Amino acid sequence: MKNEKSYSESVKSLSMSEMKNDAVVQELLIDMIILESVLNTKKNILAKQIDEALDTKDKPLFLKLSSEMNILLKQFGN
């Protein structure tokens, strides 16, 4: 005879599976929020440094920082 689960066991198993899936989705969302926060922080820091390089007319630094910003934007989008 097959090893069949009762209805309540099946429902409980399904609920546990859904809870695990929800936890995975929640973890992914948290990771996305953290990564977006880190990206925004890096972009803001670079933008301030670029502004300072422009203010001081430091062309080599401006070019370096602009290149870093372009790489960051290409990797993660706008």
SS3 readout for 7-21: HHHHHHHHHHHHHHH
- Give pTM, 2 decimals: 0.68
Q: Would you state the pLDDT for residue 33?
A: 95
Residue matched to tokens 């401006």: 62
Domain boundaries, the chain: 8-76
pLDDT for res 23: 84
Write out pLDDT tens, residues 6-57.
767 777 777 777 777 888 889 999 999 999 999 999 999 999 999 999 999 9
- State the CB neighbour count (10 A cutoff) for residue 65: 21
